[in-house]
Amino acid sequence: MAGSEEVNLIESKTVVPLNTWVLISNFKLAYNLLRRPDGSFNRHLAEFLDRKVPANANPVNGVFSFDVIIDRQTNMLSRVYRPANAGPPPSITDLQNPVDGEIVPVIVFFHGGSFAHSSANSAIYDTLCRRLVGLCGAVVVSVNYRRAPENRYPCAYDDGWAVLNWVNSSSWLKSKKDSKVHIFLAGDSSGGNIVHNVALKAVESGIDVLGNILLNPMFGGTERTESEKRLDGKYFVTVRDRDWYWRAFLPEGEDREHPACSPFGPRSKSLEGLSFPKSLVVVAGLDLIQDWQLKYAEGLKKAGQDVKLLYLEQATIGFYLLPNNNHFHTVMDEIAAFVNAECQ
Amino acid sequence: MKRGHGETWDPPPASRSGEGPSMADKKKVADDNNNNNMDDELLAVLGYKVRSSEMAEVAQKLEQLEMVLSNDDVGSTVLNDTVHYNPSDLSTWVESMLSELNNPASSDLDPTRSCVDRSEYDLRAIPGLSAFPKVEEVFDEEASSKRIRLGSWCESAGESTRSVVVVDSQETGVRLVHALVACAEAIQQENLNLADALVKRVGTLAASQAGAMGKVATYFAQALARRIYRDYTAETDVTVGSSLEEVLQMHFYDSCPYLKFAHFTANQAILEAVATARRVHVIDLGLNQGMQWPALMQALALRPGGPPSFRLTGIGPPQKENSDSLQQLGWKLAQFAQNMGVEFEFKGLAAESLSDLEPEMFETRPDSETLVVNSVFELHRLLARSGSIEKLLNTVKAVKPSIITVVEQEANHNGIVFLDRFNEALHYYSSLFDSLEDSYSLPSQDRVMSEVYLGRQILNVVAAEGSDRVERHETVAQWRIRMKSAGFDPVHLGSSAFKQASMLLSLYATGDGYRVEENDGCLMIGWQTRPLITTSAWKLAGGGESRR
């Protein structure tokens, strides 16, 4: 066993810059400690280890942020990121000034972490959201959804839905052109999964979502796909840990055919005929769950939906966390183009 | 193929043109980083401090650790129980785990290896908590389906971070805040007529504003009015002022978890520092009602092998004639100690200012005692007079304590520009009042008195100047710089203290917005994502024994 572990470590080191390798290996190590074999999660240690940053109403690199308690009863919190105007920093009363533009995209963002890790104020996601603001000229609303295993399906989806409603009805987020909020959903890993499910609900309820952006979205199923077998343990992720997170998120007793895990599996509803938002699906070629992600994109296509698949052959998970590789820039460009296409 | 961490690993797609940094640029950055002893910039943004020159070494240690852990599950279990420190310092963190796995701490044999989490601190010893039933539930981590906790990690002192949490409801009172800020601006511009008109407007708006915002605004309006009319007078009778202050602080202690957290985390650091001491001497720079010490004594009493002797030197304000509240407090604590079976000695020291203290006054016994200095909300007051903080820190150094525990408000209320101080304070106290508002089950007298307690701070921050302005709070980033230049090194609080502090907070089920977080070895408690109080620990730089 030790021998193959060594090979795996060496392999993953050849495909990412060293500091990326250190970063993702650090997460891998920490996450291994936090997942207990009995299905419980060391939440205290998780919160202790997670590197967080405060919101900052003083603009940094043209972006400022603030936190909003959307629902006092449930402490439902989101972090809002906005482009800064020239001039003095926004005062506390300026934070929710109406957006300034004919068409201003609002991206509702769901951070990753396999449903169990990270928060809206985790440093890695605060950084990513700030980038999206500049990239797309957008307001970004990062949802601090409830996590597994303490809060299983459908809590994360419910929280996403609550924030989508709040965004949709916030007058200060309405674009001048048509007095409507121009909404996109975006997320990585479990966040990508949440995007799909919140979009489903939006379609059913008549809320207009202009586009879905899924970065390495987390999907699965009961069978072991070829990519899972081929890439197991080779690039930071194992099938075993994937299984753990599904067991933690899905209702007790459920298996991975559950539609939350497998949106185009035997138990899910068809999307045919629905006006589902157009999707940008980004798949990393060294992600072991890529077969599920490709199946997702394929499923959308077969159901007559608009989907663009971006397959990055040599990318691993987390490539979008550091701007030190070409995949990062490729994806950022695609996201910008995807969002801006609606804003002509 | 040469490996620099700025390089990319695929040939760029042919269609790309000039987007993003070129290969040459990235390589240059990589080379620069390797040549300097600088932290990797990209990781620093994400909260990790790794020197570029050490990157390969850290990677190697990570690999080693993975090897060891992949062999069985035992390693993982061991590491779950160990105490972790300062995860931002990746190199040290990984190293400590490696040495933990190679030399497992034997908890009974060697108590100096404070790596094993014994969780022996009995939360029930904390005054005020005995009224809360269901203490056992605290230890079940998975019990709650509560909202997840957020914490935040503050930037370095160089840039100011304005952390704002907005509650999205009718309560926000935008017009009210507008008027408050406008009034402060008018004062900043020395347009006192306008300021006067505005402050009256604020008063009117505040009166009809429900909730925390109305209360905060009222206190700020009163403070602004006093500033406009230059009507701030410090209480001339120090004894009256300070006994009122103590009473108010008691209510603040009872009504919300901030002070309990402060005492608790400071005590955790103290317990670790005195783990092998047979005689412990604590100098409390602000004894107040001594609420911090019963719990510490109880924890000491529970030590395997029996408690050390405990000597407490409590500093308080000058005493009124014919009264010695310090000594009376000493008697009460002695009684408690006796019940605990802890050998106890007490001395009260009255001082008008902490800078009046001299090392000889403490009568330390360096050959037999392990010395601790504890300060809760005391240090910032010394910033009101030039030279005071330096004098005190020199006195502290002179008595050579093993550890200094410091609790301070996490805010910069000491900026030079009035308007900046005002804005900072408005955010800070809004969060504090907000959190008090949430504690529905409390008797209202506690809450009202807590608000009065905080209102006095607001008055001082906004209306006082010069040596009268004693509420000169500074952030932990600022204190780090001060302590470092005064000759102190940080002592890190770890995951065990963090966990227990979190469990302490979970006893306050109604106030679900409290958060604990770790920041570069310090622990902070905050409301929602806004840190409000920070506990840090220090030791003399260089020399002395290091615990980790």
Closest residue on chain A to B22 (Cα): A326
Closest CB to A48 among B47, B164, B495: B495
Residue B464 clears pLDDT 50, i.e. is over it:
yes
Which one has a higher pLDDT value, B237 or B447? B447
Which of A105-109, A242-246, B148-152 shows the lowest mean pLDDT across its residues?
B148-152
* DSSP states along A217-286: -----SS--HHHHHHTTTSS--HHHHHHHHHHHSPTT--TTSTTT-TTSTTSPP-TT--PPEEEEEEETT
pLDDT value for A77:
94
Q: What is the mean pLDDT of chain A?
A: 94
Q: Encoding tokens for residue B284?
A: 């409390």
Residue B50 clears pLDDT 60, i.e. is over it:
yes
For strand A182-188 and strand A139-143, is the pairing parallel, antiparallel, or unpaired? unpaired
What's CA A2's distance to the chain center, in Å?
33
Residue B328 clears pLDDT 60, i.e. is over it:
yes
Q: Which of B65, B164, B476 to mutate to probe the A interface, most A CBs <10 Å?
A: B164
CB atoms within 10 A of CB A154: 15
- In the chain, the amino acid numbered A333 is D
At A211 the three-state DSSP class reads: strand
- In the chain, the amino acid numbered A102 is E
Which of A325-329, B118-122, B518-522 shows the lowest mean pLDDT across its residues?
B118-122
Which of A46-60, B127-141, B152-166, B479-493 shows the lowest mean pLDDT across its residues?
B127-141
Distance from CA of B22 to the nearest CA of A (A): 10
Distance, in Å, from the CA atom of A237 to the CA atom of A316, rounded to the nearest integer, reads 10
- In the chain, the amino acid numbered A87 is G
B84·A96 Cβ contact <8 A: no
| B170 Cβ under 8 Å from any chain A Cβ | no
CB atoms within 10 A of CB A302: 13
| A2 Cβ under 8 Å from any chain B Cβ | yes
Residues B248-257: pLDDT tens digits? 888 888 888 8
Distance, in Å, from the CA atom of B131 to the CA atom of B539, rounded to the nearest integer, reads 36
Residues 62-101 of B with CB under 8 A from A: 62-63, 65-67, 69-71, 73, 76, 79-80, 84, 87-88, 90, 94
Residues 88-117 of A with CB under 8 A from B: 89, 91-93, 95-96
pLDDT value for B127:
52
B9·A14 Cβ contact <8 A: yes
Which one has a higher pLDDT value, B250 or A51? A51
Which of A5-9, B87-91, B107-111 shows the lowest mean pLDDT across its residues?
B107-111
Distance from CA of A310 to the nearest CA of B (A): 13
Which one has a higher pLDDT value, B514 or B283? B283
Q: How confident is the model at residue A222 (pLDDT cuts 50, 70, 90)?
A: very high
Distance, in Å, from the CA atom of B502 to the CA atom of B517, rounded to the nearest integer, reads 9
Residue that has been written with the tokens 């994109």 in this structure: A297
| Residues of A marked as catalytic | 189, 287
Closest CB to A124 among B46, B55, B528: B46
CA dihedral over B456, B462, B468, B471, signed as positive or negative:
positive
| B521 Cβ under 8 Å from any chain A Cβ | no
Residue A133 contacts residue A63 (beta carbons within 8 Å): yes
pLDDT value for B280:
97
Residues A272-317: pLDDT tens digits? 999 999 999 999 999 999 999 999 999 999 999 999 999 999 999 9
Average pLDDT over residues B346-353: 94
Closest CB to A68 among B55, B166, B423: B166
End-to-end CA distance of chain B: 39
B56·A54 Cβ contact <8 A: no
A324·B42 Cβ contact <8 A: yes
| A149 Cβ under 8 Å from any chain B Cβ | yes
Q: How confident is the model at residue B28 (pLDDT cuts 50, 70, 90)?
A: low
For residue B286, how many C-alpha atoms fall within 13 Å in the half-sphere facing its CB?
21
Residues A179-190: pLDDT tens digits? 999 999 999 999
The b/e string for B426-456 (b: 16+ C-beta within 10 A; e otherwise) is bbbbbbbbbbbbbbeebeeebbebbbebbbb
Give percent of chain A with pLDDT exceeding 90: 87
Residues B86-100: pLDDT tens digits? 999 999 999 999 998
Name the percent of chain A in helix, strand, coil, to the closest 5.
40, 20, 40
∠ CA A178-A181-A183 to the nearest 5 degrees? 130
